[in-house]
Copies of this chain bind each other. A is one copy, B any other.
């Protein structure tokens, strides 16, 4: 066990903070609530970004860039929107040495400024659908911040689309929730629950919000991505109109959706263990680390040479690093790379060269069980396949954990108990006020009305009213 890490079972929250710092994912900054994303953490984010970007482009979306600043009056055009965001705003009042006539808000999200531009760009049905994404920083003045999970400034992608019909816009909203789900499952190895947000949890200004909810290793929920159907709310506020095929003016229908650097936190808290990070091979900045081993100085040259050759051969296929640092023992290096979550470690020493083998150790299976001798001649074939095996294994492990900690409950007492260690699934027919009361009494919220419903009907766990849907409850980050 890594001595410097608090065990997860002792204090999960402390473990999280420690590993994010120790593994060089991020650091605190001198600016309130803002973090520095360090190279290792940023490379992980680049992998997340590239995988998502590919999926966005495949579904016909293009990237653009809109201003960081938004005139205060823009936010006020959509009443729900400004109500939701005004407590969290950072405001620029001075520019170029002078006080501004109108204060500028540092974007907390870009529906308003993009809505303004869309109203200029969209003239006719031929301009629709308009499917634009931006990768950007946003600022929300959060009271309590946590590295990656909740920071004053964070990085994200926000997609904003405009459509001719309600049907198309709803379809887009759900399609992109599917894209997020696919990314989480296949790349981040996170088994998420897709579903609809309840009334009190939805986005300020949306008609309906959809979410993917993940369960962290402490049983708490992390909202990992959202997709909003905005109806005609923003189209009305920003006058996004188009001439239809019959030459009639129509209001457009819009959507927005985003995934943020919070995803890095989700990866850490879904897979990490008491030794440190466990990174999914598809996203790991380094997939394979090679640690050369020698006792006597005369062995050094041959071992390093063999290690370099292996690196050379693998570097066309996987992201590989050779740890040839001087002054550190192999054991120290093993611990270091385990802590950083590198999926596979290749150990090579003088005897391996003689026998033309290498020892490969899996990060996700501790000790001897995770070690395997592989003939040197087979590394190109075996290593990429082993990475896929690890990817599948950690997904399955996370899914088993999640499934084992979602309880179907029938009474409010059972619900209260279930959310101590995981999620509760229960029939639900409550309204906004009921949600608030449940939250006050249990600290749990409706995470989502999951897409997967049992069918039929039941009795609401809180109000006792007849219910046609189940909801997932949990404490959330």
Contacts and interface: CB of A to CB of B under 8 A. Distances in A.
A62 interface: yes
A444 interface: no
Interface string A68-88: 111100100000000000111
A36, A42, A137, A152, most chain B CB atoms within 10 A? A36
A27 B89 contact: no
B36 A117 contact: yes
Nearest to A141: B96
A338 interface: no
Contact of A39 (B31, B62, B68, B74): B62
Given A88-B96, A92-B92, A96-B89, A67 B117 contact: no
A143 to B, nearest CB: 7
Given A30-B116, A39-B62, A117-B36, A139 B86 contact: no
A34 B93 CA distance: 16
A155 interface: yes
Contacts of A94: 89-91, 93, 103
Nearest to A74: B30
Interface residues of A, number: 56
A65 B37 contact: yes
A244 interface: no
A38 interface: yes
Contact of A96 (B29, B34, B39, B87): B87
Given A64-B39, A65-B155, A69-B31, A97 B86 contact: yes
A104 interface: yes
A43 B116 CA distance: 22
A424 interface: no
7 contacts: A29-B117, A32-B95, A36-B64, A42-B62, A89-B95, A90-B95, A106-B106
Q: How many chain copies does the complex carry?
A: 2
A153 interface: yes
Given A92-B90, A97-B87, A137-B137, A36 B65 contact: yes
Contacts of A62: 39, 42-43
Contacts of A92: 90-93, 106
A332 to B, nearest CB: 15
Contact of A46 (B63, B153, B155): B63
A121 B137 CA distance: 24
A132 interface: yes
B64 A42 contact: yes
A263 to B, nearest CB: 14
Contacts of A152: 95
Nearest to A69: B31
A27 B86 CA distance: 28
Nearest to A117: B36
A35, A43, A86, A93, most chain B CB atoms within 10 A? A93
A43 to B, nearest CB: 7
Contacts of A88: 96
A27, A88, A94, most chain B CB atoms within 10 A? A94
Given A92-B91, A93-B91, A104 B31 contact: yes
A141 B95 contact: yes
A144 to B, nearest CB: 12
Nearest to A93: B93
B29 A66 contact: yes
Interface string A134-170: 0011010101000000001101000000000000000
A456 to B, nearest CB: 46
Contact of A34 (B46, B68, B121): B68
A95 B423 CA distance: 35
Nearest to A106: B92
Contacts of A34: 67-69
A476 to B, nearest CB: 21
B42 A65 contact: yes
B36 A66 contact: yes
Contacts of A65: 36-37, 42, 45, 155
